[in-house]
Structure 1
Amino acid sequence: MPASKNARGKKTISRNRVARHDYLIEDTWEAGIELTGSEVKSLRERPAQISDSFCIIRGGQLFLVGVHIHPYSNGGVWNVDPDRRRRLLMHRRQIDYLDGKLRGKGLAVVPLELYFDEHNRVKLQIGLGKGKKLYDKRADMARRQVDRDIQRALKERSRG
């Protein structure tokens, strides 16, 4: 089973690891996602591909573009296009807030994690982020390396 269950009862389907590397995430939200029944069954079978996806606002609605949900193996005629645009479900005020943020500053709304919540509904954690420059990525990598070296030295010191 691809979904791993954590302490709060949510089962992770897919995580976008590239997003935190490529974007400086300022804020996060939880959004519902409008899916067909065969897509939900497919997500229970195998994970979705969300690393190349992003969110857009069209006509006052928030859409998820570029996510690939594999067709359900027993879906038959009920299977839909695996790369179709999917509507995200959020409150009007939240969508308006995101729309205002996206208009001026070069920010993007990126999906961070796709999961089943406590009630077995498919949810998507999205983040408002600004693209990192190459030197920001290098600084993060250097910082992580220093942290690893410190942890390694502390571990060796505690062993004796």
Structure 2
Amino acid sequence: MAKRVGTKTLVENRKARHDYFVEEGMEAGIVLVGTEVKSIRAGKANIKESYAEIRNGEVFIVGMHISPYEQGNIFNVDPLREKKLLLHKEQIRRLIGLLQQEGHTLIPLALYLKDGKVKVNLGVCKGKKSYDKRDSMLEKAHKREIDRQLKERSRY
């Protein structure tokens, strides 16, 4: 069987970028069973309401929903079970230091395939206030307007 090379985003948490300031990103492996991998490859995962927490020097994703694989029968597991993330001790210590700052949390930003393995992009995030959200929506609208104007000018 040929080795798969490259990356392919399977599930993305767009809401996280709206609700949080992403201060730092980090790639982590994730411990899954075979039917979960097949379900994720089919795009049947949801990470919108999930977060990661550190317990006893290990990192776990809480609230990530992976739908049961339809042909999985007895091998399917609980869709909401906590999944362990694979990180080096130095990375976990660094995360502990970053999370000690008030208002910071670990949010999974995306699930993707990298060289045939499922990886998760973890973000160290700080929550946005409602006025921050309005500011970023206003910036986005201005950028869209400027791009539209430039496109119209380039036609003539």
TM-score (norm 2): 0.94
2:119 aligned with 1:123, yes or no? yes
Cα deviation for residue 97 of structure 1 reads 1.1
Counterpart of 1:150, as a letter, is I
Q: 2:90 aligns with which of 85, 93, 108?
A: 93
After TM superposition, list the pairs within 5 Å mapping 1:6-21 onto structure 2. 9-21=6-18
Hey, what's the Cα distance between the residues in 2 that align with 1:82 and 1:97? 30
- 1:80 matched residue in structure 2: 77
Cα deviation for residue 45 of structure 1 reads 2.3
- 2:39 matched residue in structure 1: 42
3-state SS of paired residue (2:32): coil
Counterpart of 2:48, as a letter, is S
The RMSD of aligned alpha carbons is: 1.1
- 1:3 matched residue in structure 2: none
- 1:4 matched residue in structure 2: none
Q: 1:61 aligns with which of 49, 58, 61?
A: 58
Counterpart of 2:19, as a letter, is D
Cα deviation for residue 103 of structure 1 reads 2.2
Q: Deviations over 1:13-41 (max 9, x none)?
A: 10000011111011100000000111111
Cα deviation for residue 46 of structure 1 reads 2.9
Hey, what's the Cα distance between the residues in 1 that align with 2:29 and 2:138? 36
Structure 2: gaps spanning 5 or more residues:
none
Counterpart of 2:147, as a letter, is Q
Q: 2:131 aligns with which of 129, 135, 141?
A: 135
TM-score (norm 1): 0.91
Hey, what's the Cα distance between the residues in 2 that align with 1:80 and 1:130? 32
- 1:105 matched residue in structure 2: 102
With 103-112 and 11-20 compared, the bigger mean Cα shift is at 103-112
2:138 aligned with 1:154, yes or no? no
With 99-108 and 131-140 compared, the bigger mean Cα shift is at 99-108
Hey, what's the Cα distance between the residues in 2 that align with 1:46 and 1:26? 27
Q: Which has the higher strand share?
A: 2
